Amino acid sequence: MAPGTGATTSGPGATTGEPGTAPLLEVVDLHVSADGVPILKGVDLSVGAGSVHALMGPNGSGKSTLAKVLLGDPAYQVTQGAIRFQGEDVTAWPTDVRGKAGMFLAFQDPESIAGVPVLQFLRQALSARRGEDLSVLEIRLSMMEWMEKLGMDPAFGERHLNDGFSGGEKKRNEILQMALLEPEFAVLDETDSGLDVDALRIVARGVRTVRETRPDLGVLVITHYRRILDELSPDAVHVLVDGAVVAEGGPELAARLEQEGYDPWRP
């Protein structure tokens, strides 16, 4: 363990709610490989209902891998450990089942899907999450409401998903999806990257508004920068280096990283 760091498990804000109840999300000794190459080497992390946690770490440390594995990306193999969501072991659950259960990932690099308009995509995703077919009108109304909150041009609803969207437009679109899908737990993978100052505030405000309407929402914010954390006030900050959590603390840890970089924790 690096000097001056706390314990690597059960960090601050790890659990909320009744004593003895399981945290919303619990990652236990998670080891993950891609094509036989180990990427995550024993990650422990808990996020309680209603709390915001930040995950920071140098490029290539495994943050996006963790995000994708939380949502069951089949490109990765869990070789040891477990992911528990609302007390259930979801490690073997396919992505769509996790989505239906209320897990959500805003991608670092959202994919474009040519030929699929945003509205149609959201209708499918939302119908799957709710377990009932929603009408185009219903979706359009809540979509319009959220697009306005997120400063998006209503014309985006008719455009093909992420096709020709600017970097910032893609990130807003991810938050739009989060707002409409009403997840229980959301991972935001570098949603702040590539946003101008105004867009960052709008996106952060969007996340805060979603949290106001859903106070039990747990959020894991992956970021390289303190600015989004200043906006979202995380309960805990975790630092991932070379596939393992090497430090945990409060927001002051993000400030320290900005000053000192990751050298104190590099192997």
Ligand X SMILES: Nc1ncnc2c1ncn2[C@@H]1O[C@H](COP(=O)(O)OP(=O)(O)OP(=O)(O)O)[C@@H](O)[C@H]1O
Please give the residue ranges that form the binding site for ligand X (CB under 6 A).
34-35, 37, 39, 57, 59-65, 75, 108
The SS3 assignment for 263 reads helix
Of the candidates 94, 83, 92, 78, the one whose C-alpha atom is nearest the C-alpha of residue 185 is: 83
Least CB distance from residue 255 to Mg ion, whole Å? 21
Assess 64 for contact with Mg ion (CB under 5 A).
yes
Contact letters for Mg ion, residues 23-62 (x by CB under 5 A): ----------------------------------------
Contact flag: residue 65 with Mg ion (CB under 5 A): no
**Min dist. Cβ of residue 223 to ligand X (A):** 9
> Using CB distances below 5 to 8 A depending on partner kind, what does residue 34 bind out of Mg ion, ligand X, none?
ligand X
Residue in this structure with the two tokens 């609803």, named with its chain if needed: 157
Q: What is the DSSP letter of 112?
A: P
Q: Looking at beta carbons only, is 8 or 86 nearer to ligand X?
A: 8
At 210 the three-state DSSP class reads helix
User: With respect to ligand X, which residue has the nearer C-beta, 74 or 215?
Assistant: 74
Question: Pick from 39, 59, 45: which is nearest to 8 by CA?
Answer: 45
114 binds, among ligand X, Mg ion, none (CB under 5 to 8 A by kind): none
Instruction: Rank residues 34 and 78 by Cβ distance to ligand X and give the closer one.
Output: 34
Structure tokens given for 135: 């009408």
CB of 39 to ligand X, least distance (A): 4
- Listed in sequence order, the DSSP H helices in 182-267 are 197-213, 226-232, 251-260
Q: Which is nearer to ligand X, 20 or 74 (CB)?
A: 74
User: 232 vs 39, 58, 157, 225, CA distance in Å?
Assistant: 28, 21, 27, 12
Is residue 103 within 8 A of residue 85, CB to CB? The reply is yes
Residues of this chain that interact with Mg ion (CB under 5 A) are 63-64, 108
